[in-house]
Amino acid sequence: MITRDVGTFVGFAKNCAPDFGPSCAKAVFLIAPEGFALAEQSASDNRYMDMGLTTDAAKALAEHRGLQSALSAIVPTICFSGRADTPDAQFPNNVFATAPGRLLLGHMRHAVRQREAERPDIRGFFAQALGYREIDLRDQPGLCELTGALVIDRARGLGFCGLSERCDEAGAKAMHAAFGLRATLMFDLAPGEYHTNVVLSVLAGRAVVIAPDGFADPAVVEGIAECYAPQVVRLGRDEKLGFAGNCIAVAEKAVFMSEAAACALRAENRRTLQDAGFALHAVPLAEIEKAGGSLRCCVAEIY
């Protein structure tokens, strides 16, 4: 089922058992920010970027190494080298995603990001080392920036797809089919929001982090919250702008977000995460965040 009807989706979702698959990835991969710089094309529809900022490639690389080290203490973590001609490649989860036995290639809006999917080493790793089948979504007409646009509850096989300049209905339908989901809810993001995973995260299938002002329709916010109540973290504007919504559970009891996001998180929201059984891991990413994404965007999951 793929629908825009919140009531229909919630009625179905609340009866889905957490038996679709593992709630967290078995491993993750990163791409190093070689030649780190701000991509002008990406800034055209990313309100979280400021092209007037100066960047420090060495600092970005150091932050990224710190992220790799922190993740590797919890989950197997691979890092591929970056390339100077792909300045946004440190955010691989928009271009690459997996389901059991499958590697998906996303249909990116901007040309500067489209070339990332050509990497023969990354595609070869999945095809040759892991034996994954490749599903290339670039030839279908819809834009679909994978787990940037589509937040997935892997335990129950549910998708939450925010439509924007980076993902349209055709793309949402293509992703729903490629991931083989039970149900996907499509909805409009608020004007100016570019990716769902900045305003929404489902944590290990049992809790949700949501920024209400990132959604065009408040009914969508309430419907999603109903699916995970009472373990709902509602973000205020400052928390959202600090990238607290761009978080990820890499294990059943481990949630990762950037240091800035953790600092922005209100005490009541920290308690909600603790009550849901999560330990919060914060990683400094101030330089990388100048590129308009944060920790979740840096992490591509391997299922």
pLDDT confidence of residue 50: 56
Contact 269, 231 (CB under 8 A): no
Taking CB atoms within 8 Å and a gap of at least 24, the contacts of 117-124 are 119/80, 121/80, 122/29, 122/31, 122/80, 122/92, 122/96
pLDDT confidence of residue 38: 64
In the chain, where the domains are located:
2-302
pLDDT confidence of residue 45: 63
- % of the chain exceeding 70 in pLDDT: 95
Tens place of pLDDT per residue across the chain (303 aa): 999 999 999 999 999 999 999 999 999 999 999 887 665 555 466 666 455 767 788 999 999 999 999 999 999 999 999 998 898 899 999 999 999 999 999 999 888 889 999 999 999 999 999 999 999 999 999 999 999 999 999 999 999 999 999 999 999 999 999 999 999 999 999 999 989 999 999 999 999 999 999 999 999 999 999 999 999 999 999 999 999 999 999 999 999 999 999 999 999 999 999 999 999 999 999 999 998 899 999 999 999
pLDDT confidence of residue 36: 78
For residue 78 the two structure tokens come to: 């691979």
The string of pLDDT tens digits covering residues 93-113 is 999 999 999 999 999 988 888
pLDDT confidence of residue 165: 92
pLDDT confidence of residue 39: 53
Rounded-to-integer distance, Cα 293 and Cα 280, Å = 19
167 contacts: CB under 8 Å, gap ≥ 6: 142, 143, 144, 145, 149, 150, 161, 196
pLDDT confidence of residue 112: 82
Q: What length is written for the chain?
A: 303
18 contacts: CB under 8 Å, gap ≥ 6: 155, 156, 205, 206
What CATH code would you report for 2-302?
3.75.10.10
pLDDT confidence of residue 44: 60
Contact 178, 149 (CB under 8 A): no
